Structure 1
Amino acid sequence: MRPLVVVGDALLDVDVEGSATRLCPEAPVPVVDVDGEWVRPGGAGLAATLLATHAAGDVLFVTALGSDDTGRRLAALLARDVEVLRLPLSGETARKTRVRASGQSVTRLDTGDGHAAHAPLPERVRRAIRGAGAVLVSDYGRGVAAHPEMRRLLTEAAARVPVVWDPHPRGTAAVPGVTLATPNEREALSIADGCADPADAAVSVRRRWRSQAAAVTVGARGAVLAAPDGTTLAVPVPDGATLTGQKLDTCGAGDRFASAAVSALAEGADVADAVASAVESASRFVAAGGAAALSTRDSSRDGGEDGLPPSEDGSAFELAESVRRRGGRLVATGGCFDLLHAGHVSLLRHAKSLGDALVVCLNSDESVRRLKGPGRPVVTADDRARLLAELSSVDAVVVFEESSPSAVLERLRPDVWVKGGDYAGSELPEAEVVRRHGGEVVLVPTVEGYSTTRLLSEASR
């Protein structure tokens, strides 16, 4: 299978997470007590990472990176999932920092003025685009998609293979002939000046950019497709693909939509089926926590001695005491978390939104074997704890040996104990411990279709 190629502007996304319980005396703004810093590839870097995570073949990422500290950190994060083909950058690598308190964004700080230099493209980049099985252009308005030679190569590619163009308000128009343009509603209405309806805007974008099709994403309503045959089609979010009743972080939804669309087109789907797949994928992505769920804790900024996020048992109880001293709200949840999947991530993000800090009570290997049978766990407790601790929603992990977390909850004394909605109708053995210490038990919706048992069953077929 020929590689999939992503072309676009990468930036570093940083989430500074903490809690806010007081106002600054000098101004009516919240004071955020920082708990940690999480990082991930942003912009086209997120699109490339998402494509690499879900696509069957190799993913090459053409982007411009600087040699500054932000550029080096971003390059290291990208290298985990994709092969980066670097272009020169004029200026500093872009960085977007969200300051968040209890899962809610307080402010955003944007730094870095870097733009792709219009130098001749490296031969490796030319070969990559000419040999691509499909191309995703993720334009964040920093010059990669506007490079004159790049545009000639992309125009040639659009005549051979599927090309998806995901635009940006500060970006450039798509090259003629792309298979699918994917603006969001605000972008589409800006491109299609004079249109007030997403369907009309989709038709106008398709006509103006001479693309084969255009899909305008409209948030929780799905997308509106202007199809190659000139018809328009509403593509709703399928039942069960979203969660309601919680604070949803939609950061990265457009990148997931575009990456899912190009993946489906590369596998031979027609445009309508590709858009339907993209709507479902983006909806499940948001329900599972959005881009923040892909973040890793930047322990170099936390002063960790071993370069790993704090996940030892002692840190969980220290964290609990610290939260109580600050008057905060401690949330805990528990389970095996064997083969971490989107359903787990969704539960953890929802749990974190209910308080100021989240502790995961993790079944030990022997505990999992007693509950699940001799073939489990698939992943050892040490590795499960490391994976969980890397998630931005998780503040600490404690491993317990018993079949029930009751003993560890006696020490933690959480304000909220969270379990998945599949436990509805059954009395949890640990509920009495939680309530005795003044806590409450909350059941949150599960993401349909995700379970470790199901994943293992499908893998064995």
Structure 2
Amino acid sequence: MRVTVVGDVLLDVDINGTASRLSPDAPVPVVDVAEVRRRAGGAGLVATLLARDGHDVTLVTALSDDDSASYLDAALATVSVLAGAPLAATPTKTRVRIGTHQMVRFDEGCAPVPTPDCTGAMAAAIESAEVIVVADYGRGITSNADVRAALTAAASRVPVVWDPHPSGSTPVEGAAAVTPNLAEALAFAKPSGTHPLRKAAEEAGEVLLEQWNCGAVLVTIGEDGAVLVDGSSAEHVPAPPARVEDPCGAGDRLAGSLAVYLSLGLDLPRAAARAVADASEFLGNGGAASLQGVGGKPAADQPESKAGSSRGAENNAPRGNRHDGIQLARRVRAAGGTVVATGGCFDLLHAGHARTLAAARSMGDCLVVCLNSDDSVRRLKGDPRPIVSQEDRAELLLTLQCVDAVVIFDEDTPEASIESIRPHLWVKGGDYQPGDLPEARLVESWGGKCVTVPFHPARSTSGLAEALAKVG
């Protein structure tokens, strides 16, 4: 699905460590830093989550040209970024955590800035989208007249879900849904009295529905879920129970999911229920803090990616690859099916491979193969491997009726691809023990399982290669 995310990007920095003593200078804990993670926040988080779900995501935003923006370049590698001219410093939110507890947050560069530019490519990305998420964090992109005109026109064609901000712009008329949290809704609606939680959300939602002339207002109320107001009724949407240690990113997850479900044809109540459930699951799994971050030097100090930078260019090419296998997995999950995935080099396809793949496919509704790229195989196996190029290996795999899609990865291990596919079952040959697989913890983190199928020791790529060498 082609999703365009419009909004303001922040840099979120997590400083994680432990504390076992107080400072001699003041009665404050001394934090021994274990790791520093940097990730895209705001609209960048929405785009990252949707790309991880398998969608073809374009981010329309404004970026600076400082070191923090260089980290954002790396964090948004799976997203096509279209940005206006560089503005002020990148807004950065730094959280210091001891264990899972947030101790303090520092905000930098969050002062108001001039309205960003809108390039032709940015407007075209809005016009061509199948669904749009607006993540307004008050940095001005949604106040640009050309952006607003494109969003208004798009709202008559496709679902537009708007996540508002107290310092941001008014949602365009015709948006399918607006998703403020209760504090934001009360700030916008300015009710005259005080009411219990749900009643306050309902009354604020009714005011905002008329004020914004949108299809619905979904007011989130923390662990109690949300209240959906659509003009005909106000409905409480309960949240599944979840152990929440950090609510960061819940609104971003909810807005992105709601937009996708509406685009898939679900009505508002069902789409809202699923979006609230997705947000609860996201928080239960650790929320934004659990996402893989970018460390080391800024991207500006590292070799440029093959796709290059897309900032400020009219002919922006997507950065990273969107694979049909990831989108297929998303569609199968949305339909309630079982996604199965496996991985390997598959250098010389033989009967053992075919039996393993057929067994894996029999366990679910689709089979996605994570295939080591040529560079990955070379690092793992040494020269002269691979014998067969990645393009030919992928083509051969796809000739098998049991293989539905192939995702090629460049890393030594397939974890990044697995996280994008999020299979219910990760399958390997019986020469492995499920609990010993390095991918086991990752797959189990979303409730999936690692399983093995019978291993055929007499059939191997190495043996076949040796036999071919003798023939030659």
Answer yes or no: same fold by TM over 0.5.
Answer: yes
| Paired residues of 2:63 and 2:86 also in contact (CA < 8 A) | yes
Give the whole-Å Cα distance in 1 for the aligned partners of 2:190 and 2:176. Answer: 22
Amino acid at match of 2:214: S
In structure 2, the partner of 1:208 is: 211
| Match 1:220 to one of 211, 223, 229 | 223
Structure 2 partner of 1:169:
166
Partner of 2:155: 158
Counterpart residue type for residue 22 of structure 2: L
Please tell me whether the aligned partners of residues 89 and 114 of structure 1 are also in contact (alpha carbons under 8 angstroms).
no
For residues 307-326 of structure 1, give each alpha carbon's deviation from its aligned partner in whole angstroms, at most 9, with x where no partner exists. xxxxxxxxxxxxxxxxxxxx
Other-structure match for 2:75 = 77
For each residue in 1:84-131, what CA deviation from the matched residue of structure 2 results, as whole angstroms up to 9, or x when unmatched?
Answer: 001123210111110111121111111124766435521111111111
Quick one: which amino acid aligns to residue 236 of structure 2? A
Match of 2:236 in 1: 234
- When residues 298 and 452 of structure 1 are mapped into structure 2, their CA distance, relative to the original with a 3 A threshold, is same
Q: Hey, what's the Cα distance between the residues in 1 that align with 2:252 and 2:370? A: 31
Q: Check the 8 A contact 1:36/1:297 in 2, yes or no.
A: no
1:36 is aligned to: 35
Question: Counterpart of 1:24 in 2: which secondary structure?
Answer: coil
Closer/same/farther in 2, CA of residues 385 and 137 from structure 1, 3 Å limit: closer
Letter in 1 for 2:202: A
Alignment CA distance shift 1:114-1:86 (3 Å): farther
Matched, 1:61 2:54: no
Q: CA contact under 8 A between 1:63 and 1:86: conserved in structure 2?
A: yes
| Residue 293 (str. 1) matches residue 290 (str. 2) | yes
Is 2:5 the partner of 1:6?
Answer: yes
Asked if the contact 2:75–2:293 (Cα under 8 Å) also holds between the matched residues in 1, the reply is no
How many angstroms apart in 2 are the aligned matches of 1:154 and 1:405?
49
CA distance in 1, matches of 2:80, 2:206: 36
Whole-Å separation in 2 of the counterparts to 1:170 and 1:278: 25
Q: Which has the higher contact order (CA 8 A, sep 6+)?
A: 2
Which of these residues, 99, 103, 108, is aligned with residue 106 of structure 1?
103
Q: What RMSD in Å do the two structures reach over aligned CA positions?
A: 3.4
Could you tell me which amino acid in structure 1 is paired with residue 290 of structure 2? A
| SS of 1:264 mapped into structure 2 | helix
Aligned length: 330
Q: Give the distance between the partners of 1:386 and 1:20, measured in 2 at CA.
A: 31
- TM-fit CA distance, 1:76: 2.0
Give distance in 2, aligned partners of 1:5 and 1:204: 28
Contact 1:64 1:115 in 2 (8 A): no
SS in 1 for 2:235: strand
1:243, 1:447 within 8 Å by CA — same for their partners in 2? no
Q: Which amino acid in the other structure matches residue 107 of structure 2? A: D
Identity of aligned residues (%): 40
Q: Distance in 1 between matches of 2:292 and 2:156?
A: 36
Contact residue 88 and residue 116 of structure 1 kept, 8 A: no
Normalised by the length of structure 2, the TM-score is 0.63
Check whether the contact 2:112–2:139 (CA below 8 A) recurs between aligned residues: yes
User: Matches of residues 52-451 of structure 1 in structure 2 within 5 Å?
Assistant: 52-56=51-55, 58-78=56-76, 80-113=77-110, 117-118=114-115, 120-194=117-191, 196=195, 197-227=200-230, 229-238=231-240, 242-244=241-243, 248-296=245-293, 298-300=295-297, 383=412, 449-451=447-449
TM-score in terms of structure 1 length: 0.64
Comparing 267-276 and 135-144, the one that deviates more: 267-276
Letter in 2 for 1:19: T
- 1:52 is paired with a residue of what secondary structure? helix
Give the CA deviation at 1:273.
Answer: 1.5
Q: Any stretches of 5+ residues in structure 1 without a counterpart?
A: 302-372, 391-400, 407-418, 421-445, 455-461
Q: Secondary structure at the match of 2:30?
A: strand
**Residue segments in structure 2 that go unaligned for 5+ positions in a row:** 299-354, 361-368, 373-379, 381-410, 420-430, 453-472
Residue 155 and residue 162 in structure 1: after superposition, are their counterparts in 2 closer, same or farther (change >3 A)? same
Q: 1:29 to 1:256 in 2, by over 3 A?
A: same
Mapped partners of 1:261, 1:55: distance in 2: 15
SS in 1 for 2:142: coil
Give the 3 Å change call, closer, same or farther, for CA 268–374 of structure 1 in structure 2: closer
Give the Å deviation of 1:62: 0.4
